[in-house]
């Protein structure tokens, strides 16, 4: 006991000595620093009265953002994916992508839980939320986080893969919904805000303008904007100056996978039609004319070759009832100019079923007006795509796999194979994903933005459903021109621009 007391006394004295020595060193041995004199600027560089309009704009933008943010939500999804033993100890996700953020194995069982984050916007008092289909496709659980931090379970009301839209429902949102604007009135140059959760950063606001209206895509005409849109923005709203939704952000064109100032949104009129159809009918009701069409040739149709030329008419269709004929050029639909086939398709899709519409056409060089009723698209009907313009020179001797190709062609550096249903399931691709699977990309090819495991779905808006399709399309392209690829990576779709070296 005495020894213990002596030891504790020794430790106490030693600690006291060290403390005194440290204090002495601080006061006497280390150099002393004198305080620096400083004077902070007391006046702004610019007199606020001289930029009163900018100050007012600043306040107005704050008001706009404050009013719309509560209706924008984070859509959080999760899905359990079983690990198949034939792949050994390496999961296919890790084989192709490493271990992406948001994926982890559930402890104690053979499952991989994939988490994803998208965006959405509340558009009804009852709590209906618009988002992208690819955000919620084939998931086990959907949660919605509001701007005030509340988290609610969400129910999937309906979805459509062709339009890439989905409707969710939460109970008692307690939030004022945002109005869907008339996207027909939107014009290039209009100010817009993109709001969402890019890279998981919630309630992020970016601004820009409408860069182009009516950009053609495989899901219809889109609004193009330079407001920064990144992964995680999918399903979020594009907002106008009145706090209305003019579009739902859905895709980007990028060589890196991040924003390059070229983003796309589904127009609000398309969204409204899909929403009402899903809520009233439980599915998307699509109208159709029943034609196969192509772009007009020089000297056919309007001076700038706008419109579509009818190649064929489906018997019993609205087009047949209107007595449309092959060779007719459709120039206006229900008073709207028809720029191309995608314009016509969007106009038909937004038309109420059984509504009588007037078509302005040109037949044998003479203007003519005809009327018809838009009918529901029959089950199994494949939406017509615009055919290539006739009398165009065709590539001779298409290259086959293994043939030597131009060294400047970036597609020549991409190696692909057939996408099997099994691999699509293992990669957790959307149900409607189809294309070819990228197996490797030649090093130093300048195509670093593509990764092993990506799925190429389209090249220059031409669908790719097999390796044969890929080779034929690649062989027909000008290797000295940029090519636009529609690529699916996990549940995210984006556009990539490949430029010749």
Active site residue 490: no
| Alpha carbon distance 305, 331 (integer Å) | 10
- List residues bridging with 486 in a β-sheet: 458, 495
Phi, psi of 170 (to 5 degrees): -120, 155
CA dihedral 219, 286, 338, 461 (to 10 degrees): 20
> Could you tell me which of 346, 342, 313 has the C-alpha nearest to residue 328?
313
* List 119, 183, 234, 277, catalytic entry: 234
Spatial neighbors of 378 by CB under 8 A, at least 6 apart, are 288
Q: How far is CA 197 from the centre of its chain?
A: 13
DSSP 188-214: TT-EEEEEE-GGG-TTEEEEEEEEEEE
Q: What angle do CA 435, 439, 440 make, to 5 degrees?
A: 125
Task: Specify whether 415 is catalytic.
Answer: no
- Tell how strand 356-363 and strand 336-337 pair up: unpaired
Contact between 353 and 289 under an 8 Å Cβ cutoff? The reply is no
Contact 306, 338 (CB under 8 A): yes
234 is catalytic: yes
Distances in Å between the Cα of 186 and the Cα atoms of 87, 127, 191, 240, 336 are 51, 26, 10, 9, 15
Q: Which residues of 4-13 are buried (b: 16+ CB within 10 A; e: fewer)?
A: eeeeeeeeee
Is 349 in contact with 305 (CB distance < 8 Å)?
Answer: no
Q: Which two tokens stand for residue 90?
A: 């390496």
User: Which entry of 134, 137, 268, 490 is annotated as an active-site residue?
Assistant: 134
Extended strands (E) in 240-382: 245-252, 263-267, 287-288, 291-294, 308-313, 329-333, 336-337, 356-363, 366-373, 375-376
Integer angstrom CA distances of residue 326 from 293, 310, 364, 366: 9, 5, 11, 15
Residues catalogued as catalytic: 134, 164, 234
């Amino acid at each position: 006991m005495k020894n213990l007391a002596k030891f504790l006394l020794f430790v106490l004295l030693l600690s006291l000595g060290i403390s005194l020595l440290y204090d002495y060193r601080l006061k006497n041995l280390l150099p002393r620093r004198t305080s620096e004199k400083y004077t902070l600027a007391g006046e702004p560089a610019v007199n606020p009265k001289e930029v009163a309009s900018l100050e007012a704009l600043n306040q107005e933008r704050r008001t706009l953002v404050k009013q719309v943010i509560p209706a924008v939500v984070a859509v959080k999804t999760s899905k359990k994916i079983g690990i198949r033993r034939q792949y050994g100890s390496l999961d296919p996700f890790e084989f192709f992508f490493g271990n992406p953020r948001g994926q982890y194995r559930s402890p104690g069982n053979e499952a991989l839980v994939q988490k994803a984050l998208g965006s959405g916007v509340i558009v009804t008092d009852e709590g209906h939320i618009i988002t992208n289909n690819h955000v919620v496709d084939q998931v086990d659980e959907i949660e919605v986080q509001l701007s005030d931090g509340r988290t609610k379970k969400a129910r999937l009301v309906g979805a459509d893969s062709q339009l890439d839209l989905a409707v969710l429902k939460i109970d008692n949102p307690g939030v004022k919904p945002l109005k869907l604007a008339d996207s027909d009135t939107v014009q290039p140059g209009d100010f817009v805000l993109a709001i969402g959760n890019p890279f998981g950063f919630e309630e992020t606001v970016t601004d820009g303008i409408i860069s182009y209206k009516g950009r053609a895509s495989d899901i219809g005409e889109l609004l193009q904007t330079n407001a920064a849109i990144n992964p995680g923005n999918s399903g979020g709203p594009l907002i106008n100056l009145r706090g209305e939704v003019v579009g739902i952000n859905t895709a980007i064109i990028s060589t890196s996978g991040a924003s390059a100032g070229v983003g796309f949104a589904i127009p609000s009129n398309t969204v409204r039609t899909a929403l009402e159809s899903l809520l009233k009918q439980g599915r998307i009701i699509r109208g159709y004319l029943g034609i196969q069409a192509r772009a007009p040739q020089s000297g056919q149709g309007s001076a700038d070759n706008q419109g579509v030329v009818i190649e064929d008419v489906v018997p019993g269709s609205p087009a047949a009832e209107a007595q449309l004929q092959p060779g007719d050029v459709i120039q206006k639909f229900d008073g709207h100019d028809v720029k191309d086939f995608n314009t016509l398709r969007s106009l038909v899709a937004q038309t109420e079923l059984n509504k009588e519409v007037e078509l302005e056409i040109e037949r044998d060089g003479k203007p003519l007006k005809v009327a018809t009723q838009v009918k529901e698209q029959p089950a199994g009907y494949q939406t017509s795509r615009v055919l290539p313009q006739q009398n165009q020179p065709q590539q001779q001797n298409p290259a086959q796999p293994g043939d030597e190709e131009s060294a400047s062609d970036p597609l020549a550096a991409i190696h692909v194979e057939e996408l099997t249903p099994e691999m699509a399931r293992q990669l957790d691709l959307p149900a409607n994903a189809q294309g070819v699977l990228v197996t490797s990309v030649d090093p130093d090819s300048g195509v670093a933005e593509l990764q092993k495991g990506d799925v190429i779905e389209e090249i220059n808006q031409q669908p790719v459903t097999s390796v044969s399709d890929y080779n034929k399309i690649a062989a027909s392209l000008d290797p000295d021109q940029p090519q636009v690829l529609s690529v699916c990576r996990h549940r995210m779709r984006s556009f990539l621009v490949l430029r010749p070296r």
